[in-house]
Structure 1
């Protein structure tokens, strides 16, 4: 009977960990959830999370075969409503208010449950996010309308290609090309018009870039790197760079074709922010809410995201006053968002990683990346050479992206000592999930309870006293 229950626990833990990663959770969150469940049922396991695979095994001594389960994460898509429901399920399991069979049924119900928002509604909110970005950067009402329609077209195209199972790289490239082509069409119309129009097509491209890059894996990747899951972190970073490379390829290709066809090359890449700080914070809150809807965040989470997005932008304005550096101010703003999200996630019963990812979307360097690409392509088209200013700005845009990812993770890291669970089992499980990234002193004294390095020692056959059969492998 004990063996059968252990098998059920291992199977449940494996499914829960895979579910957590597939809906946007970090590796440390998945490990903490899994260890909390196994500690509740008194089952000691090893957990190995390596990018898209989850292995859970229970070592039962030298005389018994281990119980091992392996599952692969087929796809990753942010769904913070399901992640929140999964965390509530784990809380109920740890409180022993549900049985093992009921927990398995609830997990299956969460897995089969439909998305919180319909696809057309998500696409409309992606368009509103583009309009909010236009407002944030001082665009006119017409700029907001054009950004809305172009971003909706970009999102609808990317989703249609995803349903056809086209590679994500080419879907991102198509989205970047469509946003740039839309801006070029507007420029042709402006050149043919007899009256000057108060339009900034640069905002159209910037809104498209941000809509494609928002919610990428960089925040989760930096979180995994700080927690010591280096292989998983490397995979997430590579995935994010591939997506970014697709967007860059699409923007550069459309821009180069437009310049070759003689499209007017005066798309001004120089843009500033709205002069009203309050309007900027309101626009940042709108952007956070609309992107939260695209990530299927719950209603309570959306209200928190609005406040957190405005707070992050206030941190950015403060950072610009203190440092004058865009990357430093962006990192400070992300750190503020991460710290607040880390402190309040448990109390608000919302996913911490989701709050950070949503709050930093207004800070993403879409306009900066467009300016850099425009300078590079325009210099290549006119002189056949390269633009050092363009490459410098491109590296600065990458630095801003890194600052956002690391700042958000560092802010959440600062809040961790204040958010440890109260019960001992959950506290130890959470600490074990964080321990992989801790610094190890050069010399460590052997604990008295630690068994000697003798493979035939009796302590190694006792799964209750052997400290090597609990914990995680951090990869």
Structure 2
């Protein structure tokens, strides 16, 4: 039970779905002599109960998940441990040693590389929506300053809500300064890049997967967490744009970058760069970076081509996310790793950064009705990403069910 709880804690802290955690704990229980254990997985705690035979009293244990830091390399190693235990290649004592080794491993990338990767997401996001070198550099700097400021606030006990709000405000401030300066650049690309870097794509996908799979409590909690994060981002954007508008700065929703209506090489390269930087930030092993970059380019190309048919943003995003869910899950099955590792980075270019920024500008300009509709479209687009990824995986399961591992008799 202790091994199962520690494995479940690592999986949940790494961003895995409640269904996958429940399934892994059940497999460990059957492998090591605890069949039919009752598992209860929430976002903050994991509980396991077992009723022994012979009238003995039940045993219940719980482990809380206090820190949720994505580490996809560790997540893949934990899945491999569970698979080895299920196939009875790993005795219980060795499984404990293997888990301790996984916990003590050095991260796939240093902390400084993660910081640069997050900033690169912002820079690539600016390129994605048509920005040139100056907006990309400004978005890189804004994301870097926002991240370091958030880290400084975190060390002083400030909650994530205010960290996200301040990071978004810093990105918007850089945008406003570019608008007020002498450079002739599309400054809106800066804040859109920063927003793409800040939107919690991983939590968004997992929340929709939990909800659709029937884990309503965990899915709802994750979704509420995502909505609070989006609210924090919008608050930071709204505060700065309102002050800029009050002081007469030319911040207007009429001159905003839009998605290209056809295939464009710079934007496709930006999508691949976003997916790769997202993977590095979440500590995906190096061997998966090339296919993830290709997946990001495929996701963006599919989205642009569907939008060229005058399909609204939310349905086009859902179709592109479904395609990535299908292809990414198939690739993950082939490599025998969690689908989350291969799918989540690839949908990062689809995040609705431009819609969120446009909605807040419309609200700041006094057009409340149109701004509310734009923000509702942004939320629908975000939810379509999570739903599309899950539907893609389910389509693959219909066509080709996951292979079951037959238990061998112990010798």
Q: TM-score, normalised by structure 1?
A: 0.81
Deviation (angstroms), 1:400: 0.6
Q: Are 1:354 and 2:346 matched, yes or no?
A: no
Q: Are 1:203 and 2:189 matched, yes or no?
A: yes
Q: Name the residue aligned to 2:140.
A: 148
Q: Say if 1:269 and 1:371, in contact at 8 Å, map to a contact too.
A: no
Distance of 2:255 and 2:348 partners within structure 1: 20
When residues 184 and 388 of structure 1 are mapped into structure 2, their CA distance, relative to the original with a 3 A threshold, is: same
Q: Say if 1:79 and 1:295, in contact at 8 Å, map to a contact too.
A: yes
RMSD over equivalenced CA pairs, Å: 1.9
Gaps of 5+ in 2: none
**Secondary structure of residue in 2 paired with 1:360:** helix
Q: Name the residue aligned to 1:293.
A: 280
Q: Any residues of structure 2 matched to 1:21-420 within 5 Å, and which?
A: 21-44=12-35, 45-61=37-53, 63-190=55-182, 197-266=183-252, 268-274=254-260, 276-322=263-309, 324-379=311-366, 386-417=367-398, 418-420=400-402
Residue 424 of structure 1: which of 400, 406, 409 is its match? 406
Deviation (angstroms), 1:345: 0.8
Deviation (angstroms), 1:17: 0.9
1:244-297 deviation digits (Å, cap 9, x = unpaired): 111111111111222223333347552123564333322211110011111111
When residues 266 and 248 of structure 1 are mapped into structure 2, their CA distance, relative to the original with a 3 A threshold, is: closer
Deviation (angstroms), 1:206: 0.9
When residues 363 and 422 of structure 1 are mapped into structure 2, their CA distance, relative to the original with a 3 A threshold, is: same
Distance of 1:162 and 1:388 partners within structure 2: 36
**Secondary structure of residue in 1 paired with 2:210:** helix
Q: Say if 2:87 and 2:407, in contact at 8 Å, map to a contact too.
A: no
Gaps of 5+ in 1: 1-9, 191-196, 380-385, 427-475
Distance of 1:64 and 1:155 partners within structure 2: 53
By relative contact order (CA 8 Å, sep 6+), the higher-ranking structure is: 1
Distance of 2:267 and 2:110 partners within structure 1: 29
Deviation (angstroms), 1:73: 0.8
Q: Say if 2:130 and 2:189, in contact at 8 Å, map to a contact too.
A: no
Deviation (angstroms), 1:243: 0.8
Deviation (angstroms), 1:62: 6.6
**Secondary structure of residue in 2 paired with 1:421:** coil
Deviation (angstroms), 1:357: 1.7
Distance of 1:177 and 1:323 partners within structure 2: 33
1:170-191 deviation digits (Å, cap 9, x = unpaired): 111111111111111222223x
**Secondary structure of residue in 1 paired with 2:376:** helix
Q: Say if 1:132 and 1:283, in contact at 8 Å, map to a contact too.
A: yes
When residues 37 and 421 of structure 1 are mapped into structure 2, their CA distance, relative to the original with a 3 A threshold, is: farther
1:399-448 deviation digits (Å, cap 9, x = unpaired): 1111111111111122224251332359xxxxxxxxxxxxxxxxxxxxxx
Deviation (angstroms), 1:319: 2.4
Distance of 2:176 and 2:220 partners within structure 1: 36
Q: Say if 2:263 and 2:305, in contact at 8 Å, map to a contact too.
A: no
The structure number with the bigger radius of gyration is: 1
Deviation (angstroms), 1:168: 0.7
**Secondary structure of residue in 2 paired with 1:271:** coil
Q: Say if 2:200 and 2:229, in contact at 8 Å, map to a contact too.
A: no
When residues 269 and 67 of structure 1 are mapped into structure 2, their CA distance, relative to the original with a 3 A threshold, is: farther
1:87-124 deviation digits (Å, cap 9, x = unpaired): 11112222322221111122122223332222221121
**Secondary structure of residue in 1 paired with 2:365:** helix
Deviation (angstroms), 1:218: 1.4
Distance of 2:371 and 2:169 partners within structure 1: 19
Distance of 2:9 and 2:312 partners within structure 1: 40
1:25-75 deviation digits (Å, cap 9, x = unpaired): 010111111112122223211111122211111111471011221011112
Q: TM-score, normalised by structure 2?
A: 0.93
Distance of 1:415 and 1:163 partners within structure 2: 43
